[in-house]
Structure 1
């Protein structure tokens, strides 16, 4: 593969800057692949506390060597510490952080609020990047990250280009200058990052702990009003196509995005090399075009199109017409689809299109679509090519798979032995025992899954020890006859070095030091990290210098620049600071209060049942916030016990322009509000508030911050905690800070993707879907037969709730001993009678009339859906 050694074009317009290109690195080879193909920075995890625990990762011992290697090449290195951290892990996390800071890492990517606090306590200047796991979707979220000491924010993948622009505008008005980073390519999580509890709920493997089991990639059946909906071959209802933001690069640059992030720490080095190279070259072209054009006008969003019925990837017209600034070439599309593709799509950048985001026909890698089988004869298969526009997209040695519409079953595929092109048809021959052609049928789709030649070229791009991707240096030379020649070099990071010749310049009789001659000699930078950018010649006389001396000066310039670049970043590190300084210090108090049962309901009938049962603390979470006014009035009119309060919950996500929903919520004048995100913390700051589970409170540093900084009356412990971890949290804090959810249908997926719209309408979003969520009761049946309950909220976001209720009843007595006095039970689609019965059982439990084991057995009998022990108990992992 030819290596592009041309200098990177530099933007000159003040209206936008060049975004950093950030590539993934699961291990050393991936790091090399990223560097040699043009990444400006890489991100990688260590052995613990990163959201890709299945990656090979980098060890602590390797960290200084890796950072020296990166910095020599002018590349930054960011460590992912982007999981929730449990109480007993804080001391280890502190040591990790000291190692990371001392190694000169350029920044750490963080999810946990408490870890942000710990970092800033240890070091006042070490950069923190707020992970996409922090679920930041608004200017208020950016402001929250800044208050924690973050210096960059990775926005949620669900933010569209107009929303990114709004966030940029709003933070500018508040004089907030935090850079914004977005994912530009790779796998899309269907659920909001940091808000997915599916793996935890189904198998005790938390996505917030880097152990996602990818249940979204599994097949589901759609059950509407009790009947299965025939969706043909659409079974993968929660598996989005992979993100490909190539076509919107100009829009992202003009929006002021500071960093473009490629997903893929579990991918191969060839994937990293392939995708990084495509985006490096495309971004350089875009910057050149934008500098010429010097415009900051955003392109209008493309009108949504109908669902594509065929399995082909986006064709040339689909990719090209959407942006008149960047044309995606056939080769770029081919390379990206061969790298890894479940179908490529610009995600949410262009807004919501529920008909296109999830095609639902498969949930695994496919590659390049070739066409359909039209004939099978002996060991040959004829394929009518309908895919890529490349002259011959299939060649001997390539791997293919035959898609019969049942990706959950074993599929036929193998290596192509020979290819004969017949117009639009390709006749493929295979070895005699390479595949079973009796299982291949006319009409099967054919996908190219492997290109060994491309893989070989990609491996060559990062093979060996010599640099293959070089970054430009600017050189100035000056001097006069009788004086030494002075050469000054500057790299793109701002390092400046100077060398002088050991002999003076002489008058030239032949071969004077012209600009061209200096460029030729000083530009011989092969096998170094540099290439020659601009050379400025200040010599005003015809002078000469031996070639050997010019070569020495060039080598010295390179050596000095490299020496400057490899110096580790000297971040401040407070040796006397410790974790103990931050832990909350409260005297233990005895609270004689009786345990309090809190009930969350999701409709007015359930509320009436809870009222009749005499529940003192009531929570409401309704799809339509306008119904809260009636709920509040119902409680006020029918108050059954003294000090009865009603609290209402806003939707979990707040995006720019959605404050009207919060205003609707507040207009009901409830006693208080269940806050679930950073916008809620600010909007309801003057009201009584309780922090819900979605704030991800998993350790005392996080708990103390939310409790003291925002005056929350109570916190809901994270659903990622099992009983041992919860006990640790309660031991380090005060038990009455917390309420613990002991009965619920776990909210598994919380997502922008609307299943109602995608599969029960032909609309693209709420403007034209006909609101099937208001007309139908929908469930998703998984492969083991459990029917999970689907609900929409006021923002048209969907939540998939575990169809099986979960209980932590057996741990209640122990939690009471630890100081917890508030216990929550949540209802979903239960009847009023079921609500009444369940409340009665849990009230008996809290009053000591029955044990947790007895309640467990009673619930098993009364609940036809069954009930399992809840998230407090760490069960054996389930493989998906």
Structure 2
């Protein structure tokens, strides 16, 4: 029971995604306590760049030198004919020194506990575990940690944590699935690409219509959008204190398919939020004190969003869970078109604009995106357009006064992210404790350890 109670007092772990070595460095250098990644086989993100054995060795060495951990995803269902290859792979992972493997297949878990009992195993969210009975069963199978299904509420997390000594890990940021974690067969049925084999085609991001028996579109008058199965992105940045209180240990960010700049930005901001929990707790009247500033929340929005949601954390949000109008990055509101004349488009800005920014026009005819080149104000080239100003940019497309404009890529934010993991500029260091001893007439002895 003491072991269960200690779950609530442990430091939170920030767990970052990495689909490439560059994204891996971005995660570590921006404060991740651990990184999860996949090899070239047996992982649920087959379309990511992923890591060969040499890269895995390099990643483990890089992380351990900086006191970070590496968890390797072996989170697909395995066919009988693949077990010999899997065995060789597992032995290699063990020899490399990975800190844990993340599993979906209970047969693989049993195999590991028989042949490599020292290897730490984590139960993937693909196992769809969201009850204390499920977690206790996985405990009996030898698992060290359970990644709870995304559909688990805070109240359910608390009830589970009170019944198990196992580490609990939950997703706090990133893409959501419309189906139950690990139970969606839609991609497999539609296109023969199984999510349980790492090749999900994301059919939930496609367009659909809700029709009656006469094939009449029942939503045509509601203008809700056509992406009827596309959820918003999860964002629990302001719920981290609650997650700690209910007994969650590891905070997982989704995104092995995302670019390194995304990983750098999201991990940096969540690291800041976690580090502020203790400070906020000690402040008077801190119950409603935010962990991130408005500007930092804006960076989370800017780097990628389909609109944000708290998912199932508090309750079933119904339609508020969904992003009906579009399945990809919305960006942030930039302003409106005021005039198009002689190859120059005038914009009334609601946010800052810089050369290199990506912007998108939302019109009655669809959407059109461009990268900003030169910016003018009063016929003078400027390097920054400020909120409230009217500026002009080069534009050869079609736009009308009143069209909304969104910023989908912030050049300065991307550069800030790249600087954090640029080769030769790594900043994360490991603490080194030194002990100096000696006597008169003898050599001084240094002893150090990390």
- TM-score, normalising length: structure 2: 0.89
Structure 1 position 498 matched with structure 2 position 431: no
Residue 349 of structure 1: how far off its partner (Å): 1.4
Query: What is the distance in 1 between the residues matched to 2:100 and 2:234?
Result: 25
What's the Cα RMSD here? 2.7
Match status 1:241 vs 2:232: yes
Contact 2:355 2:411 in 1 (8 A): no
CA distance 1:235–1:125, shift in 2 (3 Å)? same
Higher Cα Rg: structure 1 or 2? 1
Return the match for 1:279 from 270, 275, 293: 270
Shift of 1:385: 4.7
Structure 1 contact 361–405 (Cα < 8 Å) conserved: no
Residue 380 of structure 2 corresponds to none
Pair 1:339 & 2:303 matched: yes
Inter-CA distance 352–119: structure 2 relative to 1 (3 Å threshold): same
Task: Please tell me whether the aligned partners of residues 159 and 348 of structure 1 are also in contact (alpha carbons under 8 angstroms).
Answer: yes
The match for 2:420 is 461
Deviation at 1:61, TM superposition (A): 3.0
For residue 392 of structure 2, what is the aligned residue in structure 1? Answer: 429
1:793-830: CA deviation from partner (whole Å, max 9, x where unpaired): xxxxxxxxxxxxxxxxxxxxxxxxxxxxxxxxxxxxxx
Question: Contact 1:416–1:429 (CA<8 Å) still a contact in 2?
Answer: no
User: How many residues are treated as equivalent by the alignment?
Assistant: 435
Seen in structure 2, the aligned counterparts of structure 1 residues 62 and 278 have a Cα distance that, compared at 3 Å, is same
SS in 2 for 1:350: coil
Q: 1:14 to 1:187 in 2, by over 3 A?
A: closer
Partner of 1:601: none
CA distance in 2, matches of 1:444, 1:51: 40
Counterpart contact for 2:347–2:392, Cα < 8 Å: no
Following TM superposition, by how much is the alpha carbon of 1:291 offset from its aligned partner in structure 2, in angstroms?
5.6
Q: Does 1:411 align with 2:333?
A: no
Aligned to 2:72: 79
1:166 is matched with 159
Would you say 1:31 and 2:24 are equivalent positions? yes
The answer on 1:202 being equivalent to 2:194 is: no
- The match for 1:452 among 394, 405, 411 is 411
In the alignment, structure 2 segments of 5+ residues that lack a partner are 1-5, 378-383
* Structure 2 residue 401 is the aligned partner of structure 1 residue 442: yes
Structure 2 distance, partners of 1:328, 1:70, is: 27
Take 1:293 and 1:97, find their aligned partners in 2: how far apart are those partners? 51
Cα gap change, 1:342/1:15 in structure 2, threshold over 3 Å: closer, same or farther?
Answer: closer
Distance 2:158 2:87 in 1: 36
Q: CA deviation at 1:472?
A: 4.9
| Matches of 1:372 and 1:39, distance apart in 2 | 38
Aligned in 2, Cα 1:377/1:502: closer, same or farther, shift over 3 Å?
A: farther
Q: Deviations over 1:833-858 (max 9, x none)?
A: xxxxxxxxxxxxxxxxxxxxxxxxxx
Residues 353 and 385 of structure 2 are in contact (CA less than 8 Å); yes or no, is this contact kept in structure 1? no
Which secondary structure does the structure 2 equivalent of 1:281 belong to?
helix
Q: Secondary structure at the match of 2:288?
A: coil
Does the residue aligned with 1:62 lie in a helix, a strand or coil? Answer: helix
Tell whether the 8 Å contact from 1:30 to 1:272 is kept in structure 2 after alignment. Answer: yes
Out of 147, 156, 168, the position equivalent to 1:154 is 147
C-alpha distance in structure 2 between counterparts of 1:27 and 1:502, whole Å: 51
Q: 1:352 Cα deviation (Å)?
A: 1.1
- Structure 1 residue 33: Cα displacement: 0.8
1:191 counterpart = 2:179 = yes
Q: Which residue of 1 aligns with 2:111?
A: 118
The offset of 1:445, in angstroms, is: 2.4
Are the equivalent residues in 1 in contact too, given 2:276–2:291 (CA < 8 A)?
A: no
| CA positional deviation for 1:405 | 5.7
Q: Structure 1 residues 328, 83: CA separation in 2 closer, same or farther (over 3 Å shift)?
A: same
SS of 1:232's equivalent in the other structure is coil
**Which position in structure 1 is the counterpart of 2:314?**
350
**Alpha carbons 1:249, 1:326 under 8 Å: kept:** no
Matching residue of 1:611 = none
Q: Distance in 2 between matches of 1:157 and 1:379?
A: 48
Query: How far, CA to CA, are the matches of 1:27 and 1:412 in structure 2?
Result: 27
Kindly indicate whether the alpha-carbon contact (under 8 Å) linking 1:233 and 1:406 is maintained by their aligned counterparts in 2: no
Q: C-alpha distance in 1, partners of 2:134/2:423?
A: 44
1:738-749 equivalence runs, <5 A? none
Deviations 1:574-621 (A, max 9, x none): xxxxxxxxxxxxxxxxxxxxxxxxxxxxxxxxxxxxxxxxxxxxxxxx
- The 5-angstrom pairing of residues 582-731 of structure 1 reads none
Contact 2:234 2:310 in 1 (8 A): yes
Tell me if structure 2 keeps the 8 A contact 1:233–1:405.
Answer: no
Which position in structure 2 is the counterpart of 1:783?
A: none
SS in structure 2 of the partner of residue 95 of structure 1 = helix
Cα 1:424–1:32 change in 2 (3 A) is closer
Q: Is residue 348–residue 391 contact of structure 2 (8 Å, CA) maintained in 1? A: no
Query: Measured at CA, do residues 154 and 291 of structure 1 come closer, stay the same or move farther in structure 2, by a change above 3 Å?
Result: farther
Q: 1:201 to 1:249 in 2, by over 3 A?
A: same
Deviation at 1:277, TM superposition (A): 0.3
Cα 1:328–1:356, aligned 2, differ >3 Å: closer, same or farther?
farther
Q: Is the deviation greater in 361-370 or in 151-160?
A: 361-370
- Deviation digits for residues 375-432 of structure 1 (CA, Å, limit 9, x no counterpart): 434444344555xxxxx4322331101122666xx6242315215499964434223x
- The answer for the alignment partner of 1:535 in structure 2 is none
Distance of 2:240 and 2:109 partners within structure 1? 31
Q: In the TM superposition, what whole-angstrom CA distance separates every residue of 1:471-494 from its partner, at most 9, and x where no partner exists?
A: 556xxxxxxxxxxxxxxx2xxxxx
Q: How far is the alpha carbon of 1:100 from its aligned partner?
A: 0.9
Whole-Å Cα distance in 2 between the matches of residues 291 and 59 of structure 1? 46
Distance 1:419 1:350 in 2: 47
Deviation at 1:34, TM superposition (A): 0.8
Q: CA deviation at 1:348?
A: 1.7
SS in 2 for 1:145: helix
Higher relative contact order (CA 8 A, sep 6+): 2
Of residues 312, 328, 332 in structure 1, which corresponds to 2:292?
328
1:43 to 33, 36, 43: 36
The question of 1:136 aligning with 2:129 is answered yes
Contact 1:70 1:77 in 2 (8 A): yes
**Judging changes above 3 Å, is the alpha-carbon distance between structure 1 residues 224 and 64 closer, same or farther for their aligned structure 2 residues?**
same
Q: CA deviation at 1:293?
A: 7.5
In 2, distance between residues paired with 1:405 and 1:194? 38
Residue 153 (structure 1) shift = 0.3
Distance 1:502 1:30 in 2: 49
SS in 2 for 1:337: helix
Counterpart of 1:591 in structure 2 is none
Kindly provide the CA deviation profile for residues 671-707 of structure 1, in whole angstroms up to 9, marking residues without a partner as x: xxxxxxxxxxxxxxxxxxxxxxxxxxxxxxxxxxxxx
Q: Contact conserved, 1:419 with 1:427, CA < 8 A, in 2?
A: no
Tell me by how many angstroms 1:82 deviates. Answer: 0.4
